[in-house]
Structure 1
Amino acid sequence: MQTHPPRSIQLVAIPLVLSTLAGCASPLQPQSSSELQRSMVLAIEREVDQAKAAPERRTLSLQTDLTKLEIRPDHLKIIEDEYSVDGYLAQLGALDTLDSPGLAELLGEDLLGQPTTMVPISLENAIHASTGNNLDVEIARYAPAISEAGVVQAQAAFDWTIFGEAQYQDSNTPQPGQALGGGSAAIVRNASQTTSGSVGVRKDLTSGGSVSITHDLNNNNVESSFFGATPVPNPARTTGVTAQVTQPLLRGFGSDTVLSEVRLARNAERGSVSTLRSQLIATTSDTERAYWNLVLRYKELVIRHKLLQRGIEVRDDIKARRVQDARQAQVADAVARVERRRGDLLTARTNLRIASDQLKSLLNDPNLPVGSEAVILPAHDGIEEELGFSLVEAISDAVTNRPELETALLTIDDATIRETVAKNLRKPRLDLIAQARLVGLADTFGNAYDDTDANRFVDDWILGVSFEQPIGNRAGEAGVRSARLDRMRSVVQYRRAVQGIVLDVKDALNRVFTNHTLIEQSTLSRVAQGEALRSLIVEKELTNAGYSIERLNLELNQQEALAAAELAEASALVAYNTSLVDLYEAMGTTLQRNRIDLVVPDANQLAAGESPMERAGDGQQAGEQDAEGDE
């Protein structure tokens, strides 16, 4: 099996992180940023205070000293060839290539009753496929584009708006007239036709006010009865231009309040990018874990198969001794052991298929759907990757890179914005209103415009203020109190996020250290167990007592002990690689480790026919790339 190239951890010193938090430009409001930053810096310093006392990096060596076992070199060679997973793969013809008839026969038939098809895939290509095709990542990719549209919507509230209306009215109204010469009064019929229309523009200002300019036209034609008076001019054409400005002076004044929705929308956009990065990290890590789980299931299948083969040989030897000293109970026990091993083999085969399907689900490769009966087989064995680490540097790296902290910081900023708005809404409402209107009246619209230009008629000038204040102002005070408490809670949530990240890093480092130690311990155990079985088989072949029932039962026990040691060794190596995945995920450096660049698509790139999923189908898929590489 190929070996994955070692990848080093890129770490950042903790003083740099703390100075960045203390001195960088913050999106928080100036009046609160120093207090919040001090709280955040103290939260980090408290967690790394003890770790800073020992900043030296520790290097984990991966050399296994087999001389401790005092086994001859030629015997060690036999053990590696005949009592190890690599030796079993060589016997199946699958050590250097997974496309072997022996391995295909070991996998058996698929759900369709056909021989199993195997698709080798490397870890790099598996990660590449999952980051490009995974459905959870695909869903997360839409969030930044949606949030970007939300920012545009919030900004559009300050765009110019054009408006207009038109109306026609036909009126025929009777009304009393004047009496002439003491006679009775005649009823006057008032008939008129009025056509009016207006068009204008208005805009909300970032100061909280608004401005509008309106142009209106009016055509009024009056038709009276014989005794009615007709106005002059008739028809009358009226033109008018109205300009109006409203500006809050207290409540609703200022860009800090008016632009709050824009700032919240921008924070939501940043948060969606952090969520996308978090989803990419989680998907990449889940893919690696699924890959290493598949490696373990693959090794378990080979180990179970070899254990069954050895058990069948000893069972046949015990059956052959029925004519000498084998009792029925001893024969039945040997048969039961073999059948139990056969059941374990079937379970291991099913576990391998389930692990393969789980990896398919993460890859979402169009050429390798979950419904396919092809089995993914890993092209890499467990990676014995050397690691140098320092607790303070690992925590520093996590604080720098974890998207959860960025999200927590945005939550603080959102709460600060809402508190600023709440403080503004607590103020009384005092609005300034200013309006000017120019009107022209004539028998034609042209003359009416001339009147307007000459300022013959000024309809009105308005300058006023309006005031409003709730008695007691309980709603405003409660809103400020609620917003302040929400802001305080967001700071505590940030501290909790820091604590959780430190816990994740420490847990991952502890598992890395333990699993690294278990690799050597389990290897020594497996080699020693292999030597025990090898010696027992040699004694069986060289002495007459080797085929006694007691020795054969001992051989069965030694076989099972060796299989358990082999599984423990495979589990330790896979657990070490999985704990490395957990460590990089805890530090937030999974994408850097796998050389993945985060590209945030905009709405146009996610339009129909342009989604990352559809573009992925244009090139070679993961399984195809690895298959061509094996050829």
Structure 2
Amino acid sequence: MSSNNTCGVIAIATLLTTIESAVAQPQQNDIPDLLIQATARLAKIQSSDSGPHIELTLEEAIAQALDRNLDLAVQRLNPQVFDLNLAQQLSAYRPSINSSVSNSSRTNPASTQLDGGNSVVSDTAIFNSGLNQSVPWGGGNYQVNMNNNRSSSTNFFTSYNPSYRTNFQASYTQPLLRGFKIDATRQQIRVTRINRDIADIDLRQTVTNTISSLRNAYWELVYATQTLDVQHQALELAEALVRDNEDRVEIGTLAPIDVVQARSEAAARRQTLAQAEQALLTAELSLKQLIVGSTDDEYWNATLIPVDRPILDVQPIDLESVLRLALEERTDLARSRRQLDINNVNLSAMRNNTLPAIDLVGTYQLQGQGGTRYLRSGLGGRVTTQIPGGIGDAFDQLFDVDFPVWTVQVNVSYPLGQSAADAAYARAQLQAQQVQAQLQQLELQVATEVTNAVVQVQAINRRIEAATAARELAEEQLAAEQSRFDAGLSTNYFVVQAQRDLAAAQDTELRAILDQQKALIELDRVQRTSLTQAGVLIVQ
């Protein structure tokens, strides 16, 4: 059951208890008295609180929100997510090492006289390694491979047995048109970096909005606190009038009906007081929601007492400088500009895809061979000389560049007719024009919001002046009406009406002051200067 429902049940029970007591003693109370007692008990229940009281300045509330607000805690993680995405994409440019080792043996039936027997047994051991990497500039990539193998065979006519072969090969592929300035990997990296900046912008915007919401909630709590004081004062005036009327009835200078009217007004004031207390609790809860991280927080279980009060002296506002600052600092504009940068990156990638694919490939290769060599008297003749050797001979030939091989080639590919890339590029151009138009529209919207915010501040300043004058006149009117009533020249009705007018004028003045603070907060928000006003620095 909610607290409001609980209070309502208690109020009804209190009212029924009071009525039952009145039925037992009908001559002691009447219906207005029952209402007064029930309302008083309800107000007492609603005003009771528990937990410590914490005095809170606006600066302390902002610091608390920046430290514990859950929306900010969530938003702070987004830049880190993009950092990890960027690290993952940059790993495409890290060199990769590969190697393979294998050993095999094969027995094949003899198919020709050159096999030198009924079957041929071949043993092969392979030791290969390589390095490849895509470079982050120009779209090129290189490969370096070192291949080594040892083979032996029972074939009688083998010249090297065992035979060692080594091969070193380096190649580089360089795109000349398509893929030279940008490719899919570099496109993703550039977009991710821009999105990382956008995440920072979104974080600033969340901080700005949180501070604006907190400042509004703080001044709402101040307004609710001061409104409660006004309602206490109004209740005291109403109760004083009840006591004064009761004294006048006792001496016979006032009719009893005037006491009933005064009591009814006091009961209405108690009801208004209960509503003010409820509004205070609601405003306090709204502020707590912005500055706590959980219900275990000390601020959640405490009664918050705002100690700052609004400063009514507002400096003149230069619309031109305010508008210029907004166009520079607004996070939504900054976000749109970065979105335009993303569109330009995608447009560049689309244009790149329409170009012919022309790749320049260069390859350089060194090779060597070694092992025990058998020299024969002729083709198929007997072995006349055996020259011992090993893998060292193969490496000697390799490093002496005895058998170099180099290759340069150009690969060209281009689709005939209009390709899908051409259509995608044309679509991207239209989207770029749309984004540019949206940015201009947003700039116009910002100018409208800033101008309207300045107008609101100036108008509310005039409202405060009028509301203050009205409150002062209401105080004078109540004092004059009370003097006339004391002299017997006025009635109870006019005194009650003057009290109501004073309470309404005080509330109007407080509301105007609150609206002024909200207008100033909105002016800061539309400029995105809440961070500066609060002295907040976001470290990227």
- Fold-level similarity (TM above 0.5): yes
| 2:513 paired residue among 543, 568, 573 | 573
The alignment status of 1:175 with 2:106, answered yes or no, reads no
Matching residue of 1:54: none
Please give the per-residue CA displacement for 1:562-613, whole angstroms capped at 9, x wherever unaligned.
111111101111111111111122122222223322322xxxxxxxxxxxxx
The alignment status of 1:560 with 2:486, answered yes or no, reads no
Matching residue of 2:436: 491
- Shift of the 191–445 alpha-carbon distance from structure 1 to 2, 3 Å rule, reads closer
The alignment status of 1:108 with 2:47, answered yes or no, reads yes
| 1:476 paired residue among 421, 432, 439 | 421
Q: CA deviation at 1:333?
A: 5.8
Q: Distance in 1 between matches of 2:113 and 2:84?
A: 71
Bigger drift between 486-495 and 273-282 goes to: 273-282
| 1:127 paired residue among 62, 83, 86 | 62
Please give the per-residue CA displacement for 1:257-276, whole angstroms capped at 9, x wherever unaligned.
87444433332232222222
Bigger drift between 499-508 and 448-457 goes to: 448-457
Q: Distance in 2 between matches of 1:339 and 1:506?
A: 46
| Map 1:76-475 → 2, pairs under 5 A | 108-110=47-49, 114=50, 117-159=52-94, 161-178=95-112, 187-222=118-153, 224=154, 228-229=155-156, 231-254=158-181, 259-315=186-242, 321=249, 325-327=255-257, 335-364=263-292, 369=297, 372-443=300-371, 444-458=390-404, 460-475=405-420
DSSP-derived class of the 2:343 partner: helix
Question: Is the 1:218–1:237 Cα contact (8 Å) retained in structure 2?
Answer: yes
TM-score w.r.t. structure 1 length? 0.69
Matching residue of 1:4: none
Q: Supply the AA of the counterpart residue of 2:391.
A: F
Q: Distance in 1 between matches of 2:459 and 2:359?
A: 69
Matching residue of 1:58: none
Q: Distance in 2 between matches of 1:162 and 1:258?
A: 17
Q: Supply the AA of the counterpart residue of 1:128.
A: A
Please give the per-residue CA displacement for 1:168-198, whole angstroms capped at 9, x wherever unaligned.
2423333244479xxxx97414342433322
- Shift of the 204–585 alpha-carbon distance from structure 1 to 2, 3 Å rule, reads same
- Shift of the 517–175 alpha-carbon distance from structure 1 to 2, 3 Å rule, reads same
| 1:527 paired residue among 466, 472, 475 | 472
Bigger drift between 189-198 and 528-537 goes to: 189-198
Aligned residues: 476
Q: Distance in 2 between matches of 1:306 and 1:429?
A: 85
- Shift of the 556–189 alpha-carbon distance from structure 1 to 2, 3 Å rule, reads same
Question: Is the 2:109–2:120 Cα contact (8 Å) retained in structure 1?
Answer: yes
Bigger drift between 267-276 and 283-292 goes to: 267-276
| Map 1:1-16 → 2, pairs under 5 A | none
Q: Distance in 2 between matches of 1:456 and 1:491?
A: 63
Q: Supply the AA of the counterpart residue of 1:141.
A: R
Q: CA deviation at 1:317?
A: 5.6
Q: Distance in 2 between matches of 1:388 and 1:583?
A: 13
Question: Is the 2:178–2:358 Cα contact (8 Å) retained in structure 1?
Answer: yes
Q: CA deviation at 1:499?
A: 1.3
- Shift of the 335–574 alpha-carbon distance from structure 1 to 2, 3 Å rule, reads same
Q: Distance in 2 between matches of 1:368 and 1:173?
A: 78
DSSP-derived class of the 1:231 partner: coil
Question: Is the 2:295–2:301 Cα contact (8 Å) retained in structure 1?
Answer: no
Q: CA deviation at 1:293?
A: 0.6
Question: Is the 1:304–1:563 Cα contact (8 Å) retained in structure 2?
Answer: yes
Q: CA deviation at 1:415?
A: 1.4
- Shift of the 140–361 alpha-carbon distance from structure 1 to 2, 3 Å rule, reads same
- Shift of the 403–157 alpha-carbon distance from structure 1 to 2, 3 Å rule, reads same
**Aligned-pair identity (%):** 22
Q: Distance in 1 between matches of 2:259 and 2:391?
A: 118
- Gap regions ≥5 residues in structure 1: 1-103, 601-631
Matching residue of 2:532: 592
The alignment status of 1:501 with 2:441, answered yes or no, reads no
Question: Is the 1:383–1:573 Cα contact (8 Å) retained in structure 2?
Answer: no
- Shift of the 453–340 alpha-carbon distance from structure 1 to 2, 3 Å rule, reads same
Question: Is the 1:252–1:258 Cα contact (8 Å) retained in structure 2?
Answer: no
- Shift of the 447–356 alpha-carbon distance from structure 1 to 2, 3 Å rule, reads same
Q: Supply the AA of the counterpart residue of 1:553.
A: Y
Q: CA deviation at 1:153?
A: 4.3
DSSP-derived class of the 1:530 partner: helix
DSSP-derived class of the 2:177 partner: coil
Question: Is the 2:292–2:299 Cα contact (8 Å) retained in structure 1?
Answer: no
- Shift of the 186–366 alpha-carbon distance from structure 1 to 2, 3 Å rule, reads closer
Q: Distance in 1 between matches of 2:65 and 2:190?
A: 34
Please give the per-residue CA displacement for 1:357-404, whole angstroms capped at 9, x wherever unaligned.
222222237898387331211111221132211222221121122222
TM-score w.r.t. structure 2 length? 0.80
- Shift of the 316–571 alpha-carbon distance from structure 1 to 2, 3 Å rule, reads same
Q: Distance in 2 between matches of 1:365 and 1:158?
A: 42
Cα RMSD, aligned residues only: 3.0
Question: Is the 2:89–2:185 Cα contact (8 Å) retained in structure 1?
Answer: no
DSSP-derived class of the 1:457 partner: coil
Q: CA deviation at 1:243?
A: 0.6
Matching residue of 1:538: 483
Question: Is the 1:118–1:377 Cα contact (8 Å) retained in structure 2?
Answer: yes
- Shift of the 230–121 alpha-carbon distance from structure 1 to 2, 3 Å rule, reads farther
